[in-house]
Every structure is written in structure tokens, then in C-alpha cells.
Amino acid sequence: MTEALNHKDYDLLLDLVKTRSSVRSLKSDPLPEGSVEKIIEAGHWAMSGANSQPWEFIVVRDRETKLAIQEAYKEVNIDYAYWMEQQRIPELRHPSFHLKGDPYEQIEHIKSRAKWADAPELIVVIGDGRRQWGTVMAGHTFGRDQSHLTDGLANCCQIMHLAAASLGLGTQWITIHIQEPYRRILNIPDIYTIYLIIPVGFPAVEAKKGVRRDIEDMIHYDMYDPDKFISNEGILDYLAGLRGKTLEKYRVSYGEGK
């Protein structure tokens, strides 16, 4: 048992997980040949329901295509996310949207931050839900809380981010809230889910150490410990405190406040 707990592979994995960080400012320098293929190779070994492997990948290298994707993200996804975020009180807004001043000046500043088209390569992760028919019917959930399609895509993408970090490369998790513009730009059939854009490049900024809750607060043995339950009021205090810890990290990852 002691020998297993001291296994060197765990230490390597934990160090990689702890030091990986989202990098929103990437150099335009070309990647070593085969880098993106190595990242995808790692991701395609991810878990999926019944091993259905619902993922496919579009590697975008063409400058004009990258710019078109980025422009769609700025004008559709950022606009949508920004105005949704205004429904929160300012101190609880997501760090990317935690700004002061005129709302229209804020949104223009936020849009100006999106420079990931400068990354030498983008990986667009798409999912074919028909492949996921291979899993149990309960895994489709028909509008309930969870689907095996998104489970599998998330597993795949997480491994890809870790693989990039192991190669000394930076990545960002760019969630796609509104899919239609990318479908047109990349000629993606309607049946596919456009899940994620992953810019890949050498970091242009120093990574900031991640912020995590104490693990003791998360673990319950044998049954849920009611002493660890947090009230709704406590959650608001937690979120406000979290913003204070993560604001600088977000700004530095964009290349601001250096």
C-alpha cells in the first residue's frame, strides 16, 4: 500500500494538473510539427459511454478562417454572455466581466480581449450524438440533467488540455453557447454539436497559480456530513470571496496588469 501511494507516476500527474492553467494570451509562433496531433491523440483515448467515441476535431490553421471564427465569437457569444452577466450584482459577476464604467465601453473592452486567432492553431471539438447511441438509453436522458454525449466530450477535452500543458503549450477553454455562426464558417453538418474551441500556442504570459478550495471541505466519509453544508447566504459570500482571488489571475492570463 505504501509503495502504491508513493508511485512516481502520480506525482507527475499531480504536478501537471496543479500547474496547468488557462492562458488567454498566446504567441503566434508556429508549433513544433505534430504538436496538435499529439494533443488529439491523447484526447481520443478518453472515456465515453459504451466507448462510443463521439468526438471529431477540426484543426484550423488558416489565418482568415481563424479571424472569422473569432469575430463570430466576439459578436455573438461575448455579446450574449455579457448581457446575461449584467443580471448579476457587480461583485458576483464572472471575472471576465467584472469591470466598471459604461456598459457599452465594458463590452467593447471585453471583445478586444479576444485575440486567440493569433494562436497558430485552433482545435474545434465537435460531437456526433448518433455515435453516442451506443450507450444505454438512460444516458441520453431526454432533457434531464446530464447526457453521455457531453460527458464524453468533456472527458476528451480535459485530457487534451493536460496533454498540451505536458508539451509546454498554453490553451484556453472557449465554450460555445451559440453554435450557428461556426457551423456556417466551418461547414459543419447540423447533426453535430459544436462543443469547444481550444486555441493552442506558446504562452505569452506567465501562468498564475491556481486557486482551489481546501480538500477537507469537499470530502465526506460514508455519508454526507451536515456540518459541511453551506447556506445560500454562505454561497454568496463564497462567490464574492472567490472573485477577489481570481480577478488578478484572469487579467494576467489576458496579458493585462503585468
Confidence of residue 208 (pLDDT cuts 50, 70, 90): confident
pLDDT of residue 7: 85
Amino acid at site 32: P
| Cα-based distances in Å from 70 to 24, 133, 239 | 13, 32, 30
Beta bridge partners of 194: 126
Question: What gap in Å lies between CA 179 and CA 85, rounded to an integer?
Answer: 19
The three-class DSSP label of residue 149 is: helix
| Cα-based distances in Å from 48 to 39, 155, 183, 197 | 18, 8, 24, 20
Question: What gap in Å lies between CA 46 and CA 199, rounded to an integer?
Answer: 20
Confidence of residue 187 (pLDDT cuts 50, 70, 90): very high
Mean per-residue pLDDT for 106-120? 95
Q: Which residues contact 79 (CB under 8 A, 6 or more apart)?
A: 107
Question: Given CA atoms 170, 176, 181, 183 in this order, what sign does their dihedral have?
Answer: positive
pLDDT of residue 4: 65
pLDDT of residue 107: 94
Beta bridge partners of 192: 128
Question: What gap in Å lies between CA 238 and CA 91, rounded to an integer?
Answer: 11
Mean per-residue pLDDT for 80-100? 90
Best CA proximity match to 74, nearest among 103, 104, 113: 113
Best CA proximity match to 22, nearest among 154, 120, 162, 126: 162
pTM: 0.92
pLDDT of residue 249: 84
Helices (DSSP H) in the chain: which residue ranges? 2-5, 8-19, 35-43, 63-72, 79-85, 103-113, 148-166, 180-186, 232-253
